[in-house]
């Protein structure tokens, strides 16, 4: 049951951000600032006092806004006669709406959204490449993640905490300084391997929800999971939390995949060897 809730948990992060605002503000009589969800319109006879923050909607200004306008996941349209005394800040909107409607906006920095999107696409391709090169190890990491999500988080946290001390110890030995480069390669590999395992789990659960009677192909599940995780990572503020979660649990699953940690069934139980059988051996 817990495993089926993991893709839902990622989506819950999105809705949690949306629900932090007040009720929809596309109602008459908007004369004060605040946080709102959905598109709103400032009528010509309205004067909004204070900063206005809107999540996942557009702001059409025909009146006066005495403060700043902050829009996340939308645009600001100023009609003739509109007055905004503060700054207008937008994240999301028209920039990458063809791919992810809540991705960063070029109004914040020209080309920044395209660079972020290209980085996520390149990262996703590397994850697919790691899965194709190490399919067995990816499935072992998936098994560890599916059976031990809490343990994966704990091991991942310990792994990230130990990265810097281990590197410092290797540097202090002088002789083992070249091993630091191998440690960096191992960390990068663990990141992509762990993300592949998490994407497989999320994509498989998503496909199962869409087609309960069909078993998705591993590559299809991987791509679907990567698309969902990437969309969550591009959400402002919440995306940073999703990225931290992916790095944490992915690192833990990768470490467990190489640690030989036993599965719950038969953990620590040795299967006795069958006794020798056959005709008695002659003595002497």
Query: Which contiguous run of DSSP H or E holds residue 80?
Result: none
The answer to whether the beta carbons of residues 48 and 61 sit under 8 Å apart is: no
Alpha helices in 91-217 (DSSP H): 112-133, 135-147, 149-172, 178-210
Chain segment 144-184, per-residue pLDDT in tens: 888 888 888 899 999 899 988 988 998 888 888 888 889 88
52, pLDDT greater than 70? yes
Chain segment 105-158, per-residue pLDDT in tens: 434 444 445 566 778 788 888 889 989 998 888 888 888 888 888 888 899 999
In eight-state DSSP terms, residue 179 is H
Mean pLDDT, residues 196-224: 85
CA distance 160 to 77: 45
The answer to whether the beta carbons of residues 190 and 184 sit under 8 Å apart is: no
Q: Which residues pair with 132 in a beta bridge?
A: none
Task: Compute CA distances 251 → 13, 219, 228, 254, whole Å.
Answer: 21, 21, 19, 5
Mean pLDDT, residues 252-279: 58
DSSP string, 105-141: PTTTSTTHHHHHHHHHHHHHHHHHHHHHHSHHHHHHH
């Amino acid at each position: 049951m817990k495993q089926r809730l993991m893709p839902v948990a990622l989506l819950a992060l999105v809705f949690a951000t949306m629900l932090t605002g007040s009720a929809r503000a596309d109602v008459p009589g908007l004369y004060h600032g605040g946080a709102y969800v959905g598109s709103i319109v400032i009528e010509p006879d309205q004067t909004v006092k204070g900063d206005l923050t809107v999540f996942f909607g557009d702001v059409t200004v025909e009146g006066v806004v005495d403060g700043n306008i902050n829009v996340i996941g939308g645009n600001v349209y100023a009609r003739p006669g509109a007055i905004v005394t503060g700054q207008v800040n937008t994240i999301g909107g028209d920039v990458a709406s063809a791919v992810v409607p809540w991705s960063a906006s070029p109004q914040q920095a020209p080309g920044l959204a395209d660079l972020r999107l290209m980085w996520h696409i390149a990262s996703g391709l590397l994850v697919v490449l790691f899965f194709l090169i190490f399919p067995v190890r990816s499935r072992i990491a998936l098994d560890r993640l599916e059976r031990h999500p809490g343990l994966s988080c704990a091991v991942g946290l310990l792994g990230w905490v130990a990265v810097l001390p281990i590197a410092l110890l290797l540097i202090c030995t002088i002789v083992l300084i070249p091993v630091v480069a191998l440690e960096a390669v191992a960390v990068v590999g663990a990141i992509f391997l762990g993300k592949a395992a998490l994407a497989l789990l999320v994509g498989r659960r998503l496909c199962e929800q869409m087609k309960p009677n069909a078993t998705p192909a591993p590559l299809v599940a991987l791509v679907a999971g990567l698309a969902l995780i990437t969309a969550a990572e591009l959400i402002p503020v919440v995306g940073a939390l999703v990225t931290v979660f992916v790095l944490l649990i992915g690192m833990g699953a990768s470490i467990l995949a190489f640690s030989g940690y036993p599965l719950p069934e038969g953990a620590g139980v040795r299967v006795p060897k069958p006794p020798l059988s056959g005709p008695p051996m002659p003595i002497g």
